[in-house]
Amino acid sequence: MTVTQALETALAAKAAAREPGSPLRLSASGKCARYLAYWLHFPELIPPPTPRGLAIFELGQAVHDWVRGYLAAAFGGRFHSVEREVELEVAPGLRVRGHTDGILETGEGPLLLDIKTASARSAQRMHEQGVPYEYRAQLNAYLEASGLERGALLVYVKDTSEMFELPVRRDPAVVEQVRQRFLKVAQSTPQALPEREYARQSLACAWCPLQTRCWEGAGEGR
């Protein structure tokens, strides 16, 4: 066995042992409601990450810690609330939890930071088209749960190690979409899943691991 094969075997073992956890978490705020309901009712359908997918995820986590270390060095106590647990009240009796990447105190008030890693290609798309909906939904959920108005996506470009930030203001319409999304998931049943949020030919469905089940399965709602 080569060194690379041994590393891949270790990653594969860890990937296979990962539990999908609960879909009712703030990091899932921008995901398709139907996908989240499949996750809630049929967790066995959610494929474990591939070894490469796990490597990408774990390197992303390492970059998070690295960036936060430099934020702490640059701003001292003005950068705080790292991994602070927050809760979004979706409806009476239904609260969805998440953890903030950190909050920076600025002259214009607190700024909620959400750190992301991106390829050069997706970074270019963000420059041209702005913050993608999934990230805006996440940041809005964290802003609402933290009682803050201003946030920023802090993007680390993996190919070049460049960094840039994109501002996001709390948008009540997006917050409401997130609340409705989680509510639909929580109120769904295995026989009645939420409506699809995307068209069959969309990029979201093309990448969705449940595409075949969603569009060709039977008896789970429209």
Residues that bind ligand SF4 (CB under 6 A): 32, 34-35, 196-198, 204-205, 208, 210-211, 214
CA–CA–CA angle 60, 11, 139 (5° rounding)? 25
Nearer to ligand SF4, 101 or 197 (CB): 197
Could you give the CA distance from residue 67 to residue 58 in angstroms, rounded to a whole number? 14
Q: How far is the CB of 162 from ligand SF4 (least distance, A)?
A: 30
Q: How far is the CB of 24 from ligand SF4 (least distance, A)?
A: 16
Nearer to ligand SF4, 144 or 197 (CB): 197
Nearer to ligand SF4, 116 or 196 (CB): 196
Q: Which residue has the tokens 């008030």?
A: 109
Nearer to ligand SF4, 60 or 217 (CB): 217
Q: How far is the CB of 38 from ligand SF4 (least distance, A)?
A: 6
Helices 172-187, 33-41: crossing angle, 10 deg rounding:
30
Nearer to ligand SF4, 41 or 84 (CB): 41
Q: How far is the CB of 97 from ligand SF4 (least distance, A)?
A: 23
CB 163 within 8 A of CB 60: no
Q: How far is the CB of 133 from ligand SF4 (least distance, A)?
A: 12
Nearer to ligand SF4, 101 or 220 (CB): 220
Spell out the residues 6+ positions from residue 68 whose beta carbon is closer than 8 angstroms to its own. 79, 82, 101, 102, 115
Q: How far is the CB of 210 from ligand SF4 (least distance, A)?
A: 5
CB 142 within 8 A of CB 113: no
